[in-house]
Amino acid sequence: MIVREISTNNINQSNKKKGLKAFTPYLFLLPHLIFFAIFVVYPFLYGIYISFTNFDLMNSPKFCFFDNYIKILTFGSKYSKDFFAGLLHTFIYTVTAVPLIVFVPLILAVLLYAIKNEKLRNFFQSILYATSILSVSTVVLIFTWLLDRDNGLFNNLFMVDINFKGNEILTWVAIISLTLWSGVGGNMIIFLSSISSIPKSQYEAASLDGANAVNRFFRLTLPSLRFPLTFSLITGVIGGFNVFGQPFLFGGKVGSYETVMMEVYEYAFGSSPMAGMASAMSVLLGLIILAASVVQFKLMKEK
């Protein structure tokens, strides 16, 4: 009887220890989950909530149900013009910038991988990645100085007189250039890591079969990068549709540089705040981003 009680106690203690061990990982995750709930989940849900209200940041929000969405989707209304104009500018930026910040880093990663000297490769890799650690405001300040009409390095170096802020096309070129310059490093590191993980024996076998560098890239390297490419494209599109800092700081608040996020900012914190309308625009933009991401994922999966 005593032996049975001792064995029962041992089993209970063992089960308690197993339970504590199983619960321990969640204790480490708890601080992150708390911050995630406070700073991500709550603002996300509250943003959806106030999109159905006439909240103006001053008075308590009052339900107006789908009025904000109806105003945005009513063709010819001020809100519709602002939203779809911003969406057009956002689309122009995305379809121009995203392919560049995916394929330029891919080319750089292939070129870096071709460098046999590891120290030299690491040197160039560090230089190319360094721009990725700079904030958007810092990058915009650098390009503002480089492209200044009177005192900029570009005009003085090439002895030309180009006003990058006086022409819409040139302003877009500058905005996309600074985006590429600051965003090339992250994707390059991802692609270089993926290429480095491909067994060298596969390249050697392809070379023995008579495949040149171009054939090896399209038939061996590129198919091996389908997951990093999918990730970079989807995150690039999400970032492109959420672009705010580059056009806001370099292009200005008025003109063909106003993206959807700039319209949201203006409606939320402008002279006559309409936070409910701004939230409705954000929700619609989120649905567009979700649809674009799903389509991309399916296309990349099929290819």
Residues 81-95 have pLDDT tens digits of: 999 999 999 999 999
Kindly indicate the confidence band of residue 3, based on its pLDDT and cuts at 50, 70 and 90. Answer: very low
**Domain boundaries in the chain?**
74-302
Round to whole Å and give the CA distance between 221 and 242.
31
Q: What is the pLDDT of residue 217?
A: 81
Residues 122-168 have pLDDT tens digits of: 999 999 999 899 999 999 999 999 998 888 888 888 888 888 887 88
The torsion region of residue 59 among left (phi > 0), alpha (psi -120 to 50) and beta comes to beta
- For 57-101, what is the HEC assignment? CCCCCCECCCHHHHHHHCCCCHHHHHHHHHHHHHHHHHHHHHHHH
Contact 251/175 with Cβ under 8 angstroms? yes
Give the CATH fold of the 74-302 domain: MetI-like fold (1.10.3720)
Residue 246's contacts (CB-CB under 8 Å, 6 or more residues apart) are 136, 139, 140, 175, 178, 179
Residues 32-49 have pLDDT tens digits of: 989 999 998 999 999 999
**pLDDT-above-70 percentage for the chain:** 91
**pLDDT-above-90 percentage for the chain:** 44
pTM above 0.85, yes or no: no
CA of residue 90 relative to chain centroid, distance: 13
